[in-house]
Structure formats: structure tokens, C-alpha cells
Chains A and B, each alone.
Chain A
Amino acid sequence: SQQGEEDPQALSIQEGENATMNCSYKTSINNLQWYRQNSGRGLVHLILIRSNEREKHSGRLRVTLDTSKKSSSLLITASRAADTASYFCATDTASKLTFGTGTRLQVTL
């Protein structure tokens, strides 16, 4: 069964706008990671947040984690057309990742 559920399933924004996607999960975790997948390609790791962290930044990415609510959010600021992709959260438990169902982001010019 999927550990995470992502919301929204699809998101369409214009270049320059911010994109926020959310992830909820069910069990205790070591860390939570976000991955990007361009159409027809493998997944690429974006950012990792540990269970004792609440917020983390990397370039235009901001990730938050609320372990009491078992939820995380990924914010992409000042989006670009090249950000068009599917984004997946993944929870790390016992050296294994369990992936959410993903958010398809479309950034238009």
C-alpha cells in the first residue's frame, strides 16, 4: 500500500508563480524526501528533511515537515517552464523508501 498521499494530483501554474504540493503519510519515519520525475525519465532526488527538522531550504525549494500531523509540503518559488514534471514524496523507514502517488506540475509561459 502507498505510504503517502499527495495533494493536489495535478497543478497548473504560470511561470513566475509559486507551486505548493502536499504529502501525508501514515507511519513513523526516519526522514522524508522529495523527488522529481520528468516525463519518461527516472526519478531525481531533490531534498531530504529529517524527522527532527521542521523546515529546510535548497535554492528555490522549501520543504516543511510536521510529524505530529504526518504531513509535509514542498514549495517551489518563482517557477520556470523547466520545473514541469511529476513530484513525489517518499518516506524512509528501515532503509526503504515508500513513495506517494505524485503531483503533476505544469508550468506554462
Chain B
Amino acid sequence: NAGVTQTPKFRVLKTGQSMTLLCAQDMNHEYMYWYRQDPGMGLRLIHYSVGEGTTAKGEVPDGYNVSRLKKQNFLLGLESAAPSQTSVYFCASRDTSHSEQYFGPGTRLTVT
């Protein structure tokens, strides 16, 4: 099992560019989450999904969109990147019976 994987690992964008981060899990988990981690602030929830075809806003959703077309994939999109979106992005998943989340290795995004 690969667990939770994220693509890409690193990316540099110019202000105004768009991109999509891909999260994939092979554990048949129902729930998936996108977080951002900034220095000294812990992880903050951007969007999450409780099943295929569903999405919901987290604590800091502005500037991001998500889609969960397939159960194993959760995509995070930035339509018009801003320097404030420079961060490390983590994806996580969990099943319906257990609360603990499994995290991917992260994507380091820099917006110049």
C-alpha cells in the first residue's frame, strides 16, 4: 500500500497562475482533507470531503476549490495564485470508523 500520495512535491508559481494539487489514497477511505501549514501556525483545514462527490469548506477555503470525482482522489485547485498562498499543503484521509487521519508527504508551494 502506498497510503496517501501527493503530486507534485514542489512547485513555484507566479502570481495569477493556476494549478491543481492531486491527492490519492489507496486505503478505500471515505473522508479526505486538505490542510495548509504555515510557520508557527500548525495545520489549518482548507476543504474536506466525506465521500465521493461531496465537498465542504474548512477554516480557510478562500482562493481554493476542490473536487472529489473519484473516491480515491481529492484535488485542490488554485485558480489565481497569490503570494499569501505560499505554504506547505498536506492531504489526509480516514475511514468512517476511526478518527485518526493518515497524511501525505506534503507539497511545498511558492508563489512569487
Question: Which of A31, A40, A92, A102 sits near B42, CB closer than 8 Å?
Answer: A102
| A98 in contact with B45 (CB, 8 Å) | yes
| Interface presence of B62 (CB below 8 A) | no
Residues of A within 8 A of B92 (CB): 43
Chain A residues lying within 8 Å of B104, measured Cβ to Cβ, are 42
Give CA–CA (A48, B58) in the complex, Å.
Answer: 22
Query: Are B100's CB and A48's CB within 8 A?
Result: yes
Q: Which residues of A contact B106 (CB under 8 A)?
A: 40-42
Q: Which residues of B contact A95 (CB under 8 A)?
A: 31, 48, 50, 99
**Who on chain A is nearest to B4 by CB?**
A42
**Is B43 an interface position by the 8 A CB rule?**
yes
CA distance A101 to B39 in the complex (A): 9
Residues of B near A40 (CB, < 8 A) are: 106
Write the chain A residue with the least CB distance to B90: A42
Contacts of A33 in B (CB 8 A): 99-100
Interface string of B34-76 (1 = CB under 8 A from A): 0100001111110010100000001100000000000000000
Tell me how far the C-beta of B74 lies from the nearest C-beta in chain A, rounded to whole angstroms. 15
CB interface residues, A 50-109, toward B, < 8 Å: 88, 92, 95-102
Among B4, B43, B102, point to the contact of A99 (Cβ < 8 A).
Answer: B43
Is B105 a contact of A96 with CB atoms below 8 Å? no
By the criterion CB–CB under 8 Å, are A97 and B105 in contact?
no
- Chain B residues in the interface with A (C-beta under 8 A): 4, 31, 33, 35, 40-45, 48, 50, 58-59, 90, 92, 99-106
Q: List 24 A-B contacts (CB under 8 A).
A: A2-B42, A30-B99, A31-B99, A33-B100, A35-B103, A41-B106, A42-B4, A42-B105, A42-B106, A43-B90, A43-B101, A45-B100, A88-B43, A92-B99, A95-B31, A95-B48, A96-B33, A97-B33, A97-B99, A97-B101, A98-B59, A99-B43, A100-B42, A101-B41
